[in-house]
Amino acid sequence: MIEVKNVTKTYGKKNNAFVALDNVSFTIPDGASVAILGKSGSGKSTLMHAISGLDKPEKGEIIIDGKNILALNQKAIDKFRSRTISFIFQSFFVQANESCYDNVSLPLEISGTAVNRRKKRIEDALTAVELLDKKKSRARDLSGGQKQRLAVARAIVGNPRILFADEPTGNLDSATGQVVEDLLFGYNKDNDVTLIVVTHDPDLAKRCDIQIHIKDGKIESIEGNE
Amino acid sequence: MKLRDITIRAGRSLKHAKARTLLTSLAIGVGAFTIVLSLAVGAGGRQYAANIISSNTNEKALYNISPKQDGVDSSKPKKYTNAQIANYGGYEMVLLRQSDLDKMAKVDGVKSVMPYFTVSPKYVTREGQEKYQASIEPFQSEVKLEYAAGNANDIDKDSIIIPDDYREALGFKNASDAIGKKVQIIIEKGGSNPLDPEIKAFEYNIVGVNKKPAVAINGGTTLQMTSGNMKIINDYNLQGTPTYGTYLSASVMAKDDVDVDTVKTNLDKAGYESKTAEDLMGFIFQFINVLQAILIGFGALAVLTSVFGIINTQYISVLERTQQIGLMKALGMRRRDVGRLFKLEAAWVGFLGGSIGSILAVAGGTIANPIISKALKIGDVSLIVFEPLSVAVVVVGLVVVSVVSGILPARKAAKLNPIEALRTE
Ligand SMILES: Nc1ncnc2c1ncn2[C@@H]1O[C@H](COP(=O)(O)OP(=O)(O)OP(=O)(O)O)[C@@H](O)[C@H]1O
Ligand SMILES: [Mg+2]
């Protein structure tokens, strides 16, 4: 369970201060799929960065599995990021020069997974996104959709418990976007993994269990599909 | 993250920027090349010098013995002393007398005393041949000569050893042809009228013809005979002159069970300066070391230049890979590991440059060695000697230097804020 309690994030100082998140609170049950919606600049990415421990809001608590991640030291946060969560970004961020295999291998290397246990997990992840045949190809030779599928493989290889996706289909046409969406929701349902998607796309938002609407850093409404 | 994985990733990112990696490491390579070659030349020079010294000196001997002149300042007018002084090219030497030699012989630990002096006869010749200038030295059994023919085993008062150049000049077809033949040494009588000097011919049998040796200072150009013979012609040459009965210097042999340094101290107390074989060596080694230090200085300069090259390249690399660094940090890579990644890349560059430079230096040195030896006519001697350990130390040293150069860019990478880094498109 993820509990966000009274989180406030301010950018800049004094006269220039800009409140990107204003006293935000909500709860996400384990295994849920959540869409964070809102206009550009409303604070969606900022919220996602806070929940994933990339950013430190100055006020509030974010409690995951009973621990306030905002109070963790850097080492513990790094460990939390490499073991518990994972990311998919709008602009893929795959390593163009490296092979698909090495791209997917990165999170396992970071978490210190034993060498002999990596191969199977990498191949399983590539199989899940139907890229096993591209194992040895360099990432720069892939199409946009393939790159995002590779990013999905990289995100799921470490068996994360929470998957963050910031505009995962923003750079893809609707057909390819659909494939990536299906992958994410399939993974969410099959593995009981919490999926948190930042999106503009109302159709994608509708597939989620919970929709959180943000406006000017404040929660406008929270809707559930149940 | 495991060090092994970081090392592999570091190597891989260098492979993806081949041209840049190669150019950066070539700068270090120049330094490695110069340093490895300087070390090899130094090692070769020291070995060569040690060879020369061991074939020209005896570790039990003390050389260049001369009376001590305390507090003499050569730039000031000197007080008159009764000592015999010889002037050699502006360098004044106080000569030794027979009484000095007797005094030295009584010094504790001294086995034997041998005066050193040279005789310059009017000329050397043999029947039906031209006259030649020459210089004669006393034969010293500890100086190893290489003989083209004959040897010094039976050297006696009638014997002489001549260099191969004189053998040829005196008209002998080959070295063995000269053995047993006679040569004449013409000596001017001391104190005779310089315009019409009285002269005397001394005749000797050739017992040995020595080759110009690869590793010896003397013996190549002077004629040699027993010390006793030389004393006879020297006395004839100097009688009635002020330098009669004096010697340039002397050498002393220490008793087998006495340390040379002890004898040196004893001689010093008796009023004589002397040099051990080691003192003589020290001078040559110091010369080689200074030469080597200058060469290494050039190499160090090249390394210093390449340090800036590495810092620059690594900074650019960090900028280019901002996104990659951001992603790795977002995925939970530790700051320390990000820093290590960039330091290891620098280490690879240093290793590559060090290896390329060393390999080229060893290859070049190995090719150049016989050519240099031939040009200097020193025979089958290597002047460039590569010691595997020093090559390894150079490579390791350059890896360390590269890592140190990589510290600042690595710190910049480690400090990157992942959110900012991932925003750059
Ligand atoms: N480092 C920063 N310094 C100052 N202001 C910032 C900083 N990062 C974000 N902001 C501001 O915070 C607000 C929220 O930004 P955020 O990136 O969360 O928006 P978003 O909802 O993700 O928008 P988009 O849909 O365009 O991605 C914006 O107005 C932005 O200008
Ligand atoms: Mg955003």
> Is the CB of A103 inside 8 Å of chain B's CB atoms?
no
Domain boundaries, chain B: 3-54+284-423, 61-275
The residue whose C-alpha atom lies closest to atom 2 belonging to ligand 1 is A11
Helix count and strand count (H, E) for chain A = 7, 10
> In this predicted model, what pLDDT tens digit does every residue of B98-138 receive, in sequence order?
888 888 889 898 988 888 887 888 899 988 888 998 888 88
Cβ neighbours, 10 Å, residue B154: 9
The answer to whether B331 contacts A106, with C-beta atoms less than 8 Å apart, is yes
Do B285 and B53 contact (CB within 8 A), yes or no?
no
Task: Kindly state if the Cβ of A44 falls inside 6 Å of ligand 1.
Answer: yes
**What is residue B116's predicted lDDT score, i.e. its pLDDT?**
81
Interface test with B, best of A86, A109, A154 (most B CBs within 10 A): A109
Question: For residue B99, what pLDDT is reported?
Answer: 86
Q: How far is A226 from chain B (nearest CA, A)?
A: 32
Task: Please check whether residue A147 touches B, CB under 8 A.
Answer: no
Look at residue B84 in the predicted model and tell me its pLDDT.
Answer: 66
Across all residues in chain B, what is the average pLDDT? 86
Cβ contact A109–B418 (<8 Å): no
A44-48, B10-14, B149-153, B336-340: the lowest-pLDDT one:
B149-153
Q: How sure is the predictor about B425, in pLDDT bands with cuts at 50, 70 and 90?
A: low
- What ipTM score was computed for the predicted complex, to two decimals? 0.94
Expressed in angstroms and rounded, the spacing between residue A94 Cα and the centre of ligand 1 is 23
Put simply, the answer to whether B332 touches A89 (Cβ < 8 Å) is: no
Give residue A224 CA to ligand 2 midpoint distance, Å: 23
Q: Is B336 on the interface with A (CB under 8 A)?
A: no
Q: How many CB pairs under 8 A join A and B?
A: 56
Q: How confident is the model at residue B49 (pLDDT cuts 50, 70, 90)?
A: confident
The interface residues of chain B toward chain A in range 360-419, judged by CB-CB distance below 8 A, are 418-419
Which pLDDT does position B155 carry in this prediction?
Answer: 85
What are the residues whose beta carbon lies below 5 Å from ligand 2 (ion)? A 45
Q: Is the pLDDT of residue A214 over 90?
A: yes
Location of structure tokens 């929940």: A51
Kindly state the average pLDDT of the residues B251-279. Answer: 87
Cβ of A25: how many Cβ atoms within 10 Å? Answer: 12
Does A111 contact chain B (CB < 8 Å)?
yes
* For residue B90, pLDDT beyond 70: no
Given a cut of 80, is residue B97 above it in pLDDT? yes
Q: What is the pLDDT of residue B98?
A: 85
Q: How many CA atoms lie within 13 A of A82 on its CB side?
A: 20
CA distances to A44, B44, B169, B367, B402 from B37, in Å: 63, 10, 41, 12, 20
Flag the least confident range among A49-63, B269-283, B287-301.
B269-283
Helices (H), B248-334: 260-270, 277-320, 322-330
B242 has a pLDDT exceeding 60 = yes
Least reliable range by pLDDT among A22-36, A132-146, B289-303: B289-303
Residue B142 confidence class, pLDDT cut points 50, 70, 90? low
pLDDT for residue B96? 85
- From chain B, pick out residues whose CB is under 8 angstroms from the CB of A97: 13, 16
- pLDDT for residue B238: 85
Q: Are B386 and B365 in contact (CB under 8 A)?
A: yes
pLDDT band of A9, cuts 50, 70, 90: very high
**CB of A45 closer than 6 A to ligand 1?**
yes
pLDDT at position A31 is 95
Question: pLDDT exceeding 90 applies to what percent of chain A?
Answer: 93
Which pair of tokens denotes residue B156?
A: 């006696």
Across residues B344-349, what is the average pLDDT?
Answer: 95
CATH for A2-224, options being 3.30.43.10, 3.40.50.300, 3.30.930.10, 3.40.605.10:
3.40.50.300
**Chain B, nearest residue to A151 by Cα:** B327
Q: Is the Cβ of A161 closer than 8 Å to some Cβ of chain B?
A: no
Band of pLDDT at residue A139, cut at 50, 70 and 90? very high
CB contact under 8 A, B1 and A110: yes
A82–B332 C-beta distance less than 8 A: yes
Count of beta carbons in the 10 Å neighbourhood of residue A204:
22
Residue with tokens 């709860």, as numbered in its chain: A27
Using one digit for the tens of pLDDT, what is the confidence trace for B215-229? 555 546 788 888 888
Collect all residues of chain B within an 8 Å Cβ-Cβ radius of residue A49.
Answer: 419
CA distances from B128 to B54, B171, B177 (A): 40, 9, 16
pLDDT of residue B220: 60
Report whether pLDDT(A226) > 60: no
Q: Write out pLDDT tens, residues A67-119.
A: 999 999 999 999 999 999 999 999 999 999 999 999 999 999 999 999 999 99
- Could you list the beta-strand ranges (E) of chain A: 2-11, 18-28, 33-38, 59-64, 67-68, 85-88, 162-166, 194-198, 210-215, 218-224
In this prediction, residue B195 has a pLDDT band, given cuts at 50, 70 and 90, of confident
Please indicate whether, in this complex, the C-beta atoms of B332 and A111 are within 8 angstroms of each other: yes
Residue A18 near ligand 1, beta carbon < 6 Å: yes
Predicted pLDDT at B286: 85
Please answer yes or no on whether A78 and B5 come within 8 Å at the CB atom. no
* Ligand 1 pocket: which of A14, A15, A18 to mutate (most atoms within 8 A of CB): A18
What sign results for the dihedral spanned by CA atoms B295, B299, B302, B303? negative
Interface of A with B in 57-96 (CB under 8 A): 74-75, 78-83, 86-87, 89, 91, 93, 95
